């Protein structure tokens, strides 16, 4: 799974609770941005980014990965109840891990730490950090034919 696939899967998971588009005009929708936007954004919105952590061989067959998924929420109006609601929903969404589907591959990404606080000049921006862990299989694909049958010959030595 690539980092692009991982971030897309994490954003898709977040969008299950905070949708970008809705058929119901009464339902609140949100805009999602990446690092490239610094001004002219619409609220309410989420800025998300994936930050590097640790990547090292776990054994000869897997690589251990630890990354941080950062979410910043910019509300239309400052409302502490709304911000606390976002924290609760995002925590419950990620706390048991997330299944990311990338092509034919499904990967469980574990949430190992959840942290939040407030930033911005007026302390009105919700900032959430979620530390994630997962393993990547690095074994080369099997290319040999599968054995169809086997014959076993046993010989016993008789002792006198």
On the question of a cis peptide bond just before residue 44, with omega within 30 degrees of 0, the verdict is: yes
Q: What is the DSSP letter of 58?
A: S
Structure confidence by residue, pLDDT tens digits, 110-156: 999 999 999 888 888 999 999 999 988 888 777 888 888 888 888 88
The predicted structure's pLDDT at residue 160: 63
Q: What is the DSSP letter of 28?
A: -
Which sign, positive or negative, has the C-alpha torsion 58, 115, 75, 29? positive
**Which residues are within 8 A (CB) of 109 and not within 5 positions of it... i.e. 6 or more apart?**
6, 9, 10, 97, 98, 99, 100, 132, 133, 134
* pTM, to two decimals: 0.81
Beta strand residue intervals within the chain, DSSP E: 31-33, 45-57, 62-74, 98-102, 105-119, 125-137
The more confident residue out of 45 and 38 is 45
Please work out, in degrees rounded to the nearest 5, the angle formed at the alpha carbon of residue 78 by the alpha carbons of 25 and 93: 65
Domain boundaries, the chain: 3-137
Judging by beta carbons within 10 Å of its beta carbon (0-12, 13-18, 19+), is residue 121 exposed, middle or buried?
exposed
Q: Which CATH superfamily is domain 3-137 in?
A: Phage tail protein-like (3.30.2000.10)
In this prediction, residue 33 has a pLDDT band, given cuts at 50, 70 and 90, of very high
Structure confidence by residue, pLDDT tens digits, 44-88: 999 999 998 898 998 888 899 999 999 999 999 988 899 999 999
């Amino acid at each position: 799974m690539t980092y692009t696939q991982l971030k897309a899967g994490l954003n898709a998971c977040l969008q299950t609770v905070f949708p970008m588009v809705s058929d119901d005009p009464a339902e609140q929708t949100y805009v999602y941005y990446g690092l490239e936007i610094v001004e002219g954004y619409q609220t309410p919105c989420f800025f998300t980014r994936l930050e590097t952590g640790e990547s090292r061989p776990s054994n000869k067959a897997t690589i251990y990965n630890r990354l941080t998924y950062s979410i910043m929420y910019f509300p239309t109006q400052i409302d502490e109840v709304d911000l606390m609601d976002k924290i609760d929903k995002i925590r419950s969404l990620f706390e048991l891990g997330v299944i990311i589907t990338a092509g034919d591959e499904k990967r469980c990404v574990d949430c190992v730490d959840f942290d939040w606080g407030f930033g911005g000049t007026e302390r009105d921006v919700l900032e959430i950090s979620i530390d994630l862990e997962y393993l990547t299989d690095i074994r080369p694909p099997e290319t040999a034919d599968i054995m169809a049958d086997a014959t076993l010959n046993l010989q016993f030595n008789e002792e006198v």
